[in-house]
Amino acid sequence: MRCPLVYTPPMAFRIVLATTLLSLAPLCGQESGAHQPPAGPAPHLLNGKPDMSGVWEHPYAGDMTKDAPNQKGMAELPFTDLGRKEWDAHDAANGDYTGACLPFGLMRSINSPHPMQIVQNNDYIAFLFEQNTWFHVVPTDGRPHNKNQEPTWHGDSVGRWEGNTLIIDTVNFNGKTRLDTIGHPHSTALHVIETLQRTDAGHIAYTITIDDPKYYTRPWKNTRTFTLRPDWQIMEYSCEENNKDIFDGHIKGIKQ
C-alpha cells in the first residue's frame, strides 16, 4: 500500500506548509524503504535505446532547494532582483492556481508526490501523471521546437539522445505556474532541460535544470532518482471533485 493520495490545499503560511511536508515525509519514506525494486540491467527498445517504460515512484520536491531522500537541491536560489521581488511577494493564500484545479504545469507535475507512468516507443516518450490525470508527450527524434505554438502550461518539449541519456528540452511556457509547492517563481522566459538515464532495471537517474534569465542569474539544477514500482498502478485523480478550496472559500480568487 502506498501513501494515501489526498489533495492538500495551499497553506496560508510557508512555515505551516513546510511543517506539514516534513511530517508526511517519514511516512512515505518508511513505505518506500520496504520496497525492493527489480534488479538487473536496464531494458532496451528495438532501436537499442533504453526503455524507460513503467510506473515510477519519484521523490516529492515540494521545495526544490531542499535535500530529501533520493534527491538533491541547493540551499539558496540565485535570484535576480525581479525574481527576488516575485518570490518575496508570493503568498499561496492570495490565490494558488492549483487550488482552482488549473494545470500544475511541467515542474509541479514532475515534483508532485504522486506516481507517474512512462510509456515509450522508438519515436515518443509519454509521461502519464497521476496528479490530476495529466499527460505530457515528447518526441525523441531530435526535431526543433514548434515556433508557431501558443505558450502552454507544460511548454513545448522535444527530446534527443546522447548515448543512453535522454535529454528533454522545454520552452514556451505560459508563465502561469510555479516551480514547486512552496511557490518558487518562473517567467515566460523559462527554459527547462531534463535528463533521464535508466541506470538499471529498477532506477532512473533524473536531473532537471532551471534556466530563467529574468528571475535567476544563472541556471540551477535539482537531481533525484526514480524507483520502478511494478506493484503499483496509477489511479484516477480528480482535483475538481469535492474541492473545498473553491466551494467553501478556503482560498481567494485566482489572479490572471
- Residues with Cβ within 8 Å of 159's Cβ and at least 6 positions away in sequence, in order, are 125, 138, 139, 140, 141, 142, 166, 167, 168, 169
Report pLDDT digits (tens) over 114-153: 999 999 999 999 999 999 999 999 999 999 999 899 999 9
The mean pLDDT of the chain is: 85
pLDDT band of residue 107 (cuts 50, 70, 90) is: very high
- Is residue 107 within 8 A of residue 179, CB to CB? The reply is yes
pLDDT band of residue 32 (cuts 50, 70, 90) is: very low
Task: Name which of 253, 250, 252, 238 is nearest 7 in CA terms.
Answer: 238
Can you name the residues that pair with 192 across neighbouring β-strands?
170, 210
Share of the chain above pLDDT 90, in %: 68
When pLDDT is averaged across residues 52-58 and rounded to a whole number, the result is: 97
- pTM of the shown model: 0.83
Domains and CATH numbers, the chain: 14-247 (2.40.128.20)
Can you name the residues that pair with 206 across neighbouring β-strands?
196, 224
Q: Of the ranges 78-82, 93-97, 228-232, 250-254, which one carries the lowest mean pLDDT score?
A: 250-254
C-alpha grid cell, residue 201:
532495471
